[in-house]
Amino acid sequence: GRVRFLGFVPDDDLPALYSHAAMFAYPSLYEGFGLPLLEAMACGTPTLASNASCLPEVAADAAVTVSPYDVDSIAEGLKHTLANRDELIKKGFARASQFKWATAARQLIDLYESLAL
């Protein structure tokens, strides 16, 4: 297989990299939110994520989740992600769309309207 460790990548280059990647693996141990996971999903890249921290909540069923402490779990997750690309891409697009600014703004407006007397 071909795995590339790129180091720092400018934000403007990320969509092209995500779009051309076979998959995005994110076995992070600690995350505050997991924005790169959603960025990859929005670009149509199937994703694998750690089952630690907030990532399972962010990913929902749109990513394969694995233990970041278990090499065998990660290896199996990588295989599963590649074997289920089409399904994960479809679910990833749907999940990422739930985090668009327009969606968040609409939800906030709806909340305010529901609280108004």
In the predicted model, is pLDDT for residue 39 greater than 90?
Answer: yes
Q: Could you report the per-residue pLDDT of 56-97, keeping only the tens digit for each?
A: 999 999 999 999 999 999 999 999 999 999 999 999 999 999
Per-residue exposure over 98-111, b if at least 16 CB sit within 10 Å of its own CB, e if not: eeeeeeeeeeeeee
Look at residue 117 in the predicted model and tell me its pLDDT. Answer: 62
Look at residue 1 in the predicted model and tell me its pLDDT. Answer: 63
11-115 classified as CATH 3.50.50.60: no
Paired strand residues for 25: 48
Residue boundaries of the structural domains of the chain: 11-115
Average pLDDT over residues 34-59: 96
